[in-house]
Amino acid sequence: GESVGLHLPTLSVQEGDNSIINCAYSNSASDYFIWYKQESGKGPQFIIDIRSNMDKRQGQRVTVLLNKTVKHLSLQIAATQPGDSAVYFCAAGGGADGLTFGKGTHLIIQP
């Protein structure tokens, strides 16, 4: 099966700086990866996804990078804002398997 882990439980960044949140997965057969944002007291919210035939995908102020060689996934948030403060977690899956979720990195924005 798949296991997904985040490198840091907490990440503190200055407002305006770029944030990078990292994630590792174990199953090389996983071909679909997602990043979610979860604000306090709310359900997870889809941010961006990427399939294994891509190395990079960009959204609004966010970029996801996929390195299949080392089974590593990262989320980059440009010009971090106070509203970006949340728990971010990745999920991996593929084929008949459902998604496996990591536990999350709490992003703290320093003023």
Partner 1 sequence: DAGVIQSPRHEVTEMGQEVTLRCKPISGHDYLFWYRQTMMRGLELLIYFNNNVPIDDSGMPEDRFSAKMPNASFSTLKIQPSEPRDSAVYFCASLGGLAAPGEQFFGPGTRLTVL
Interaction residues for partner 1, span 58-87 (CB under 8 A)? none
Stretch of 15-23, 33-41, 56-64, 73-81 lying at the interface with partner 1 (CB under 8 A): 33-41
SS (H, E, C) 26-94: CCCCCCEEEEEEECCCCCCEEEEEEECCCCEEECCCEEEEEECCCCEEEEEECCCCHHHCEEEEEEEEE
Tell me which of 11, 24, 34, 107 binds partner 1, using CB under 8 A: 34
Q: Does 46 bind partner 1 (CB under 8 A)?
A: yes
Chain positions contacting partner 1, by CB under 8 A: 32, 34, 36, 41-46, 49, 89, 91, 93, 98-99, 101-104
